[in-house]
A and B are shown apart, each in its own frame.
Chain A
Amino acid sequence: NAGVTQTPKFQVLKTGQSMTLQCAQDMNHNSMYWYRQDPGMGLRLIYYSASEGTTDKGEVPNGYNVSRLNKREFSLRLESAAPSQTSVYFCASSGDWPYTDTQYFGPGTRLTVL
């Protein structure tokens, strides 16, 4: 039982390049989330998916797209990376009520955009 896994662990991009961050969970959770964390800051929600086939914007969605590929996988895409997107990206998942607010997080992807 690996929990929430993320790939890659580290990535360096040049401005304007694109990439996809991958996330998978093996806990049979319906809900999945993408957060970003800038240095010295708390986490901010980018997008979330309440169930397979649905996605919704969080607090900071601009510059990102997501795909809920199936129940296990939720990917985050940067179409044209900018230096402001340098951050640590965390994926999380949670079960249904009454466990919705108990989220399980992956180890993170550290992204640097030059």
Chain B
Amino acid sequence: DAKTTQPTSMDCAEGRAANLPCNHSTISGNEYVYWYRQIHSQGPQYIIHGLKNNETNEMASLIITEDRKSSTLILPHATLRDTAVYYCIVRLGSTGTASKLTFGTGTRLQVTL
């Protein structure tokens, strides 16, 4: 799986969009980009994933650059409850029945009033 680089921390005002970047310059063509988050003391929560097209769900949007070397997770209207550590994981799509995710240290997003 390709290595990812994320900023250590970011701040965002409540109600504004939070844009969390992730660099994955060594990504290969069949590797997916996954985002998870971990709210203080809780287990990680899946947010979204994509291969090369932009993706959107009820939680967030994922923008992947055309060369796939970086991506941005967008929380369109951040709230205090979005304060968490956000993990970007690049993962070869698993065709087996188990997946070994590798969590780095992520980006600590602080949403403020």
Contact = CB atoms under 8 A, between A and B. Distances in A.
A41 B105 contact: yes
B105 A100 contact: no
Nearest to B97: A50
Contacts of B97: 30-31, 50-51, 96-97, 100
A61 interface: no
Contacts of B32: 101
A94 B99 contact: yes
Nearest to A56: B98
Interface string B6-32: 000000000000000000000000001
Contacts of A76: none
Interface in B85-102: 87, 91, 93-102
Which bracket fits the contact residues of B?
Answer: 20 to 34
Interface residues of A, number: 34
A42 B34 contact: no
B93 to A, nearest CB: 7
Nearest to A58: B100
A92 B43 contact: yes
A102 interface: yes
Given A31-B97, A41-B105, A56-B98, A101 B49 contact: yes
A56 B104 CA distance: 21
Interface of A: 4, 30-31, 33, 35, 40-45, 48-51, 56, 58-59, 88, 90, 92, 94, 96-98, 100-108
Given A45-B101, A92-B43, A101-B93, 18 more contacts: A30-B97, A41-B105, A42-B87, A42-B102, A42-B105, A42-B106, A44-B103, A45-B102, A48-B100, A90-B43, A94-B98, A96-B97, A97-B95, A97-B97, A103-B99, A103-B101, A107-B42, A108-B41
12 contacts: A31-B97, A31-B99, A42-B106, A43-B44, A43-B103, A97-B96, A101-B32, A101-B91, A102-B49, A103-B44, A103-B99, A105-B42
